[in-house]
Structures are given as C-alpha cells and as structure tokens.
Chains A and B, each alone.
Chain A
Amino acid sequence: MSGVIVNRVRKGFYLDSVALMRLSKAVSILDGVEDAALMIGTPSNKQFLAEAGLLADDGEEATVSDLIIGIRAKDHKAAKAALAHTDALLKGSARRPGGQKWRPKTLRAAMQVAPDANLAIISVPGTFAAAEARKALRLGLHVMVFSDNVPLEDEISLKREAQERGQLVMGPDCGTAIINGIPLVFANRVPKGSIGIIAASGTGFQEVASLIARAGQGISQGIGTGGRDLADEVGGITTLMAIDALDADPETEKIILLSKPPGPRVATAIVDRVALSPKAFTLCFLELEQIDLPNNATLTPTLKAAAEHALGNITFGESFLIEDIVDTLTTRGRWVRGLYTGGTLCAEAQMILIKGGLGVASNAPVPGATEAAADSHLMHVMLDLGADEYTAGRPHPMIDPEVRSEHLHNALNNEEVAVLLLDVVIGFGAHRDPAGWVAAVLDGVRHQRPTIIASVCGTEGDPQIRSTQVRKLEHAGVIVAPSNAQAAELALRIVQRWEK
C-alpha cells in the first residue's frame, strides 16, 4: 500500500450499491490506479475502505448520506486523472444504452410470446428432433422437421400422431416449404399462384418453384414431406394429407408431386388418391419412368418437364440453343464432372446423362449409375456434395461453398475433364453470394480450363437476385443454362460430340 490515497466525498449523494461496485471496478483498472472503491459512507463501508487502504481523512468525515470515492494511485497525477474519470462515470457519460431482447428457449415459452403461431420448425440434432416435434404437435402446431438423422420409427410414430390430430408433419429432413407465400428454411421468393407443390426433396422443390416463378406464375402452397414419406414403412402419410389439403384449397388448381420413386404399396395408395381428386396432377418421380396413372395425372421425366407440364406444356429457355453453343466450343478432355450442392439437381442431371448413353458414377447414384469409386475418374462423375459424407461436422455446401472448393480445383486442373457442371442454389437460407464465390475461384485459374456450365436455381425476388448471380457467372466465363436439365443436356452434347 505504497501509493497515494485520495478521497473525495460527495454530500447527499446516493447510488445503488451494485452500480457503485461496477463503477469501482471500472475505476480500479485505470492506468496508475492500485485500487479504488465508491461506497456510501456507512460505518461498515468505512471499515471496508480502511482495511483496503482506501480511506483518508476526508472519507472518515463522510456520513451515511454521502458518497466516498476512494482511490489509491501510484502518484497524485494518476489519482487526479482517476477522479476526473470517476466524475465522468457518475455523470453517466460512459453508460451504455439499450439492452438485450429476450428470446424464448422452449416451444412452451414461444407459444406465450406468439399465441397465434400454428407452425413450428424443428432444427435440432436428429436424436432430439422427434421429442421436440412431438411437443409441438401437442401444442397444436403443424411441424416442419429440418433435422435429419431422425430414426425411421420416430418418423412413423410422429406422422401417425399428427394424422390423428389432423396436423401436418413436414419432414424429417425437410429443407424447403412455402406456406401462405412465406418461404421456410431453404426456399425462394415465389409469387402466389394456382399451382400447389408437394415435394419430398428440397432442391427439386426449389428448381420447380423457381421455374414457375420465372414463367410469370406462382404457387398456392408448397408442402415438404421429407425424403422417406413415400417409403412403404411410412406409407405416404404426409403426402396423402397434403393432397387432401390442396384438394380442399380453392386457390390450388394444379398439383405437382415430386419424389423419388414411391414404395410399391404407397404408389398404389397415391395413385388411388390422385384418381379421386378433381384437380390435375403432374408427377415427377425422377428415376421412375413408367407407372399406370389415372387420366388427371401425368408423369414427367425431369424437374424442368414437371414445371413445363404444370404451366400448360410451355417450353423453357427456347433461346438456349444447345447445338449452336456446342458449335462455338473448342473441346478439351473427355469427362463430365458434376459438382452439386443440391441432391435432386444432381439426380436429375445423372438421369439426363444416362439417358444420353453415358456411363455415370456418383456418390448418390440413380438407377443406371454406378457407385463412385477410386477408379471412377475414367467415367463421368456426378457428386452430391450435400450428402452426409461431405457435410458431417460442417455446413451444407448451399450455406458454405467451401465444401466445393477442393473438388472444383481438382476438376479445373484435370486436363481429362471436358465439362464442369455446377448448380448455384440461391434463396433464403443459402449463401449470400454463391455465384460470386464460384467466380472468385475461376478468376484464379489462368490455364486453359474445361467448359463450365451452371444453372442458377432461384428467382429475382431472392436476396441474392438471380440475374445478378447469372451475370457474375457469365462474366467469369461460365455458360449459364436456364435450368439444370438444360445444363446437363449441354454437357451431354459436348461429350457426345467428342465421342464421335
């Protein structure tokens, strides 16, 4: 206790003791200050100050209605500076404004804050998702389960309970829905319209909804079901409830149903249910090309075809003339490398390449493709980078494009690669500038590179703005197709020409 002890007494001053303790701490850490305390002059406080070596004669004189500022500093100059700082603090000049908004931590509390809410989105680790979803159902909420890795038996019991309650469970692993015009999780800004969408896949939904928006039309409701809903074990509970809901919805005129091929028993149930509907259905089961359907339903082979059919058999992107484009290109290499962030977009592209006679390998192979392996570099390789093996412990490539980085560099540096096929998915939930990221990677490549083809899944209403994204890609020398299907067709034609 070697320093200078300075006391200042403010007569008739009161401030809450906790506030004074906070100020004491702020003053005691000033340069040249050994210790400091602000205390009201009660006998016990004076004793504290004395024992801490902070009480001088001035402070000794203070009463219970006075404030004692006690400072022990290395010299008078430091003490004086500290006193001046203390005065400023007491004037409140250093007080910060504002506070923190409280956020509910449970559904129970959230319902008190928003009693009119009727839908909950569950995004917690899969092990806990069913428990949270069940709570939401019991609070009378429809549920969208974004979480994946939810056990199948949980999905079944959740959907059965929801069915009994007349509530909808979208998911698990449901990344996209548009309810009453509001895009949920990964979704695009799409106008209100007369086409209803029921989709088991997120990017399939996004592609179809975006194509509809770009054709100047809109959707009434977009309901996600989760990838396993049409498996026989689950029985299509959500899909069937969604058909009921859209059937009853006067705003919905046509219905698009997107999914992987249904289980055989569910397929029958769905087809029977569709036959009862007065509305026209467009079905797209991607890997399934033949199924007996009632008159009001049509099966389409690709996402693009589904959108075109529902829009009244229009044709998309007629000005994107594939043969003309191929004529302008100088070929190099032999293989197609598809680096996808959207699983269904990857599947659609695979279907197109296979149909064109190419041998395709993929980590998520469609029928006719082979499982990607070490020697698949001598094939056309289509990678779904959103698959579990790439996203364990890191964000989905739609959120964090870095996942695609290494694969992109490898493909760019591989002279055997003729075509690099990419998807750029924008919208809510997606990275804020995925095209800019791709462009930045390409900017660093000086040598001759493969033909790079991309499509941008999204709309002008999305935060990233589709036309802006397209421009960035084109500026970087990327050929931007109007749809993923056309991007794949162009890739197909390029390598087909090489094979001749």
Chain B
Amino acid sequence: MEIIDKANAEALERILAAQPILADVKAAGDVIDGLDEGVILHAGPPITWERMCGPMRGAVAGAIVLEGWAPDLASAERMAAAGDISFYPNHHFDAVGPMTGITTRSQPVLVVENRTFGNRACCTLNEGLGKVMRFGGNDSEVLARLRWLADTLGPALSTALLRRGGLDLKNIVARGLAMGDEMHQRNVACSSLLMRDMAPVLAEAMGSDTSLSSIFDFIGSNDQFFLNIAMAMGKAIMDPVRGIESCSIVTAMSRNGTDFGVWVSGTGDTWFTAPANMPDGLYFPGFTVADANPDMGDSTIIETVGLGGFAMAASPAVAGFVGAGTASEAVNYTLDMYEITVGENPDWTMPALDFRGVPTGIDIRLVIETGIPPTINTGIAHREPGVGQVGAGIVRAPMACFEQAVVGLADSLGPS
C-alpha cells in the first residue's frame, strides 16, 4: 500500500509540475519518429483493419488518398485490407488524435512541449464541423481542407508561435475554466483566448497575405479549435507519468470506436481494454441513437488530466446532455470524480466549487473500490463514415478495463 501511495504521490507531483507550452505546428512526419510512408496512426488501443468501425475505415481510406499512396478511395481500402498499411495507436508515438484520430506524415500537427520534463506531444489540427476526417469523412472537400491546413494554417501558426516563443497553455486553460470551458465539450472560451493572443503575431507574420482573414475565419468559426491543443497538452502532461513502478495512476484513456483502452503508470504500455460504451446524450436534428457509433477518440486524455467530465462543475451546460441538466448535477459529476482521484490541481480551479482544483490523478484502486467509473464528455460520431458528428453526450469508461488493470498492477507488484 505504502509503495503504491508513494508512487502515486510522485505521479501527482509530475502532473502538477508540468509546464505545457504550445511550441510549434509541423508536418507529422517531421516530428513523429517512425511515422513513415505506409504508416497510419489511429485513436485508441491497437486495432486491425478488420475490427475498425465505419468512420475509422473511412478516415483511413481518406488518409491513404491524401498521402498519395493510392489514387482513389476504393483502391485505398483494398490496400488497407491487403495489409499494406501498418496501423499503430497515436499513443505509441507520443501523439493523440480526436475521434478516428487518423494521423499520417503530411498532416500538420500541434506540438506541445512539457518544459519541465523536456518531452513533447502532438495532435492534428481541428478541422471544424461537418464532413471531416476525424469522423471518417474522405471526399474531395475533406481532403481539400486537410491540404489547406497543411499548406496555409499550419505554416502560419508555426511562424507565429515561433515569433511569440510559444504559448503557455496552463494559463489559458485556467482562464477558460473560469469562463465556462471544461476543455472537452466546451472550448469556446479557450479558442477565443487563443485567437486574441495569437492575432497580433499572426498578422505580423503574415503581413499582407490575404489568407490571414481565412485563418481568422476558420479559427473564429470553430468553437472547438482549442480541443486538439488541449489534447496535445494532456498527452504532454501525462507522458512523464508513464512507467513509475507500482503506480496505480491512469496515464491514458482512449477509444478506437470498437474498444476502450486504459494505460496505467505502473504497468507501462500494457493496454487494458473492453468494448467501448455508447454515449448517452442529445442528437442533432435528423439523427437518433440508431445513427451513433460507439465511443471513439484519444480525446479522453482530457479527462485523464482532470478536465472534461472531471471539470463539469466549471461548465454547467454540459451536464444538460443527460439527466435533468441542472447546475447542481454538473457539480455532482465533479464531486464524484474526487472520489476516484488522488489529488486536486491548484492551478486549474472552478468558481462553482469555491475555486477548488480539478480532480486529478485517476487511481484505478479507487475506481474499483468505489465502483465509480470516470465520467467522459464526448462528441458522438455517425456509425457510417463521412457523415460527421451527430450529437454529443456523456459516457462512462467501462469498469472492465479497470478490473483488468488492478489485476495487472497486482501481477507487476508480485507476491506481497
């Protein structure tokens, strides 16, 4: 017990000591070692083409065409089915991706450096709403937008960030929490704060380039632009917590649309998986639960650092996806999450809880002991590729992952 508690205290200390800085935007192939031709990274724990859900297959096919490895979507699918593509989880490459999370070498990625520990983590740029690759979209409109991200937005952000010397994310998140963001469903405050901060340097960097207004328009019309930044931040914060011997703190929660996977510090890179749950929530006009794909994406790294479903008290509206939707229910979600975490983050506080810090450091022992699974705020993808987001809601991490993880950790500790 004492050994685990000590290891967990070390884990919490590392989480709280993190200094995540949005440093750059670069082509994934230039910053992710091993992301070579024929390699596709995806969200969640490892999965084969055969077991991938519809949206993920759609995104894979789109990515193959985008990279020029196949001339069209049909031949791209044949390539994937024939085993010509190597699939790996983003998490194995210090990266994360939303929903399908498909990452290939030419895509621009946000690079967040954790200056305390010297590690860095990457995440693709948010594509906005509608038909997008993260929901399995792969038509010419989707691919054209991805090229615009690579050719225009990525380089512009890169230049601006380098000029500015990076952007302190902990500070933006702290302010966002006070403005109603929880960083998973709600990023409108942080996206706006980012825009406000970056606009002068972007303007400076771009000069009279007419694409500046299209950049502002793209970021300004996308309330979730900051989500991907928060994800890279989450990954950069949690990676230094990996591999602490005897530590029972969760270092990643992630879903590939088929399975939900959990990493625990003390068990290194072993995935504890179970079938992904269906979110409970509200649907956009014209869609119902029958259209929904099971829970998907690496975005649960947000909850892993104590935001999203854990910081619901900061974002009362989000609780409206299920239940009565009262502000007190939002607070209750967060209070429950204190039951399964080992600490609080004094840098990230919530006004509705008298500026108490967000619940931080999920302890698998507490999850099992209390029977309370982590609460996750999430978007809901259509089960068919390319349709896009059909709703949003709340989902619970499957208990089976944590049951296996506790056994796995016990095995790693050996006989007592």
A interface residues with partner B (beta carbon < 8 Å):
16-19, 21-22, 24-25, 35-37, 39, 42-44, 47-49, 51-54, 70, 96, 98-102, 104-106, 108-109
CB contacts (< 8 Å) of A53 on chain B: these are 286
Known contacts: A35-B286, A44-B130. The answer to whether A102 contacts B335 by CB under 8 A is: yes
Task: List 20 extra interface pairs beyond A36-B285, A49-B285, CB under 8 A.
Answer: A16-B317, A16-B320, A18-B282, A18-B318, A18-B392, A21-B283, A21-B320, A22-B282, A24-B285, A42-B221, A43-B221, A51-B286, A52-B284, A54-B285, A98-B328, A99-B329, A100-B324, A102-B332, A102-B335, A109-B339
CA distance A70 to B285 in the complex (A): 9
CB contacts (< 8 Å) of B392 on chain A: these are 18, 21
CA distance A16 to B180 in the complex (A): 11
A19 touches B317 (CB 8 A): yes
Total interface residues in chain B, CB < 8 Å: 33
Which of B129, B320, B339 contacts A106, CB < 8 Å? B339
CB contacts (< 8 Å) of B285 on chain A: these are 24, 35-37, 39, 48-49, 52, 54, 70
CB contacts (< 8 Å) of B129 on chain A: these are 44
CB contacts (< 8 Å) of A102 on chain B: these are 328, 331-332, 335-336
Residue B50 at the chain A interface, CB threshold 8 Å: no
Which of B287, B320, B369 contacts A22, CB < 8 Å? B320
A selection of 26 A-B contacts at a CB cut-off of 8 Å is A16-B320, A18-B282, A18-B325, A19-B320, A22-B320, A25-B282, A37-B285, A44-B130, A44-B221, A48-B286, A51-B286, A52-B285, A52-B287, A54-B285, A54-B286, A70-B285, A96-B326, A99-B328, A99-B329, A102-B336, A104-B339, A105-B336, A105-B370, A105-B372, A106-B369, A109-B339
A106 touches B328 (CB 8 A): no
- Whole-angstrom distance from the CB of B159 to the nearest CB of chain A? 28
Residue B88 at the chain A interface, CB threshold 8 Å: no
Q: Which residue of B lies closest to A25 (CB)?
A: B282
B335 touches A22 (CB 8 A): no
B326 touches A108 (CB 8 A): no
Q: Which residue of A lies closest to B130 (CB)?
A: A44
Interface of A is mostly: mixed
Residue B216 at the chain A interface, CB threshold 8 Å: no
CA distance A21 to B391 in the complex (A): 9
CB contacts (< 8 Å) of B326 on chain A: these are 96, 98-100
CB contacts (< 8 Å) of A106 on chain B: these are 339, 366, 369-370
Known contacts: A18-B318, A19-B317. The answer to whether A100 contacts B332 by CB under 8 A is: yes
CA distance A43 to B218 in the complex (A): 12
CA distance A18 to B317 in the complex (A): 6
CA distance A102 to B331 in the complex (A): 8
Residue B169 at the chain A interface, CB threshold 8 Å: no
Residue B321 at the chain A interface, CB threshold 8 Å: yes
- Whole-angstrom distance from the CB of B403 to the nearest CB of chain A? 16
Residue B338 at the chain A interface, CB threshold 8 Å: yes
**In the complex, the 9 A-B pairs of residues with the closest C-beta atoms, listed nearest first:** A99-B328, A52-B286, A37-B285, A52-B285, A21-B282, A99-B326, A18-B320, A16-B317, A102-B332
